[in-house]
Amino acid sequence: MKISVIGTGYVGLVAAAVFADFGNDVLCADIDAGKIESIRAGKLPIFEPGLQPLVEHNVAAGRLRFTTSNAEAARHGDIIFMAVGTPTLGSDGAADLSFLFQAAAEVGRHLERPAIIVDKSTVPVGTAERITRILSEQTKQPFVVVSNPEFLKEGAAVDDFMHPDRIIIGTSDDAARQTLHRLYQPFCRTNDRMIFMDARSAELTKYACNAYLATRISFMNDMANLADSVGADIEMVRRGMGSDPRIGPKFLFPGVGYGGSCFPKDIRAILTTAREYGHTLEIVASAERINEAQKLVLVRKLRKHFDNDIAGKTFGVWGLAFKPNTDDIREAPALKIIRTLVADGAKIKMHDPEAGPNFLAALGDSVAPSCTLVDDPYEAAEGAHALLLVTEWREYRSPDFERLRRTMARPSLFDGRNQWDRALLEGLGFFYSGIGR
């Protein structure tokens, strides 16, 4: 099939590469000329496991091409996917749809034959109808707008896109349903995982999923803080809870709070939508509040451990990305942790396998001079009064603790992801503090 994808971010580039890999003829557009130039030169603007070889292979096979022209994308695809960003707009938390509407208008202006316009971006209920109005103002060609929210996880995006748990297709147009069924059929060889519904339900499904997942994290963080107070071990509680099939073991991990490019903005957007319709989503609102507080849980523990005497101390930080296997630092807990510690007068030595440069650029001029980004994780711990594990990259799971103890100014470990064994570390002479244990 002839497919266009608008946007070369985590969703657009992955979707384009995977559709091409399944034999489709794909043209991928982005208004950011730097990104397109860099992709054409063989350097992807994002890190995502398995993506680089997939792009290279399909470009070489002639099935995947890139352009800076949305007009060209409008002319190429029988199906045109919109995968542009929908960040938070302003202080009320609403989603900024301007990138999407701008792309829709451009596509509308240049349509030369009937097309299916598929919205993959996460958007408030009613957006498919708004895109339909924008397109109608620009074109006389017949078209249908379909909502097809994306559920891939950064860090496993290629695999998730190739093997989706479900594919939600929101449209009441029969022909569009059949075309998208044909497109996605090869992704569902074992069993049909397509769920058809109306566009509004599809749009809400995406927010409901993210709100539920964020709530699950905040629930566990709330419980973990109680476990700290009552002297229970949240890791045992978690295993006990997760063994109930109604609860399940996945996504039940306490930590330093969620971040990333999706949960925080999507939670804000669904709360705003609810307000617009006269509802208060009490549970989701609490999940957001708990999360903001949880991002500073390690700072509170450090202040307590050092009797509020943080100024002049050096802290090592392992992990800056909002989660492992990505270079994405948007709303990463590490940003808030490090900014707060620097405001307390601390110096930071930090390491991340992929996200270092993005993180340094995001820190801000007033904070960055107090932070040193290092290439070797052990260097981050050298001379440190404490080491904070913020993002659980695999390489941090079994470090050489003896080496750490020898080089740290004080052997204290603050494990924000409950990755390490307290008994082992206390046996080695460390002070150890986890989350809820």
Least distance in angstroms from the C-beta of 41 to ligand NAD: 16
Q: How many Å apart are CA 139 and CA 244, to the nearest integer?
A: 54
124/412 Cα distance (integer angstroms): 45
Of the pair 69, 407, the CB lying nearest ligand NAD is at: 69
CA angle 230, 224, 328 (to 5 degrees): 160
CB of 167 vs ligand NAD, minimal distance in Å: 13
Give the number of other Cβ atoms within 10 Å of residue 31's Cβ: 17
> Whole-number minimum distance, CB 8 to ligand NAD, in Å?
5
**Judging by DSSP bridges, how do beta strands 167-170 and 115-119 pair with one another?**
unpaired
Among 28, 188, 209, 262, the one annotated catalytic: 262
The binding site for ligand NAD (CB under 6 A) comprises 6-12, 29-32, 35, 70, 83-86, 99, 102-103, 120-122, 150, 152, 154, 261-262
In this chain, which residue has its C-beta nearest to ligand NAD? 9
Order across the sheet with 25-29: list the strands: 64-67, 25-29, 2-6, 79-82, 115-119, 143-147, 167-170, 194-197
Considering the complex, what minimum distance in angstroms separates the CB of residue 94 from ligand NAD? 13
Least separation in angstroms between CB 9 and ligand NAD: 2
Q: 292, 295, 277, 279: which is closest to 390 by C-alpha?
A: 295
Nearest CA to 217 out of 244, 257, 246, 263 is that of 257
Contacts 24+ apart (CB under 8 A), 403-411: 403/378, 404/378, 405/429, 405/430, 407/378, 407/381, 407/382, 407/383, 408/316, 408/381, 408/382, 408/383, 408/384, 409/314, 409/383, 409/384, 409/385, 410/384, 410/385, 410/386
118 three-class SS: strand
Residue 416 DSSP class = T
Q: Which of 255, 260, 269 is nearest to 100 (CA)?
A: 269
Cβ atoms of 405 and 428 closer than 8 Å: yes
21 versus 222: smaller Cβ distance to ligand NAD:
21
Nearer to ligand NAD, 8 or 340 (CB): 8
CA distances for 254 relative to 282, 292, 303, 345, 389, angstroms: 21, 14, 20, 28, 13
Q: Are 99 and 9 in contact (CB under 8 A)?
A: no
The yes-or-no answer on residue 371 being catalytic is: no
Helical residues (DSSP H) of 232-296, grouped into ranges: 234-242, 263-276, 282-294
Nearest distance from C-beta of residue 149 to ligand NAD, angstroms? 7
| Closest CB to ligand NAD among residues 35, 238 | 35
Closer by beta carbon to ligand NAD, 84 or else 360: 84
- Closest to ligand NAD by CB, 106 vs 352, is 106
Indicate the residue among 39 and 348 with the shorter CB distance to ligand NAD.
Answer: 39
* Nearest approach, Cβ of residue 122 and ligand NAD (Å): 4
| Catalytic residue list | 262
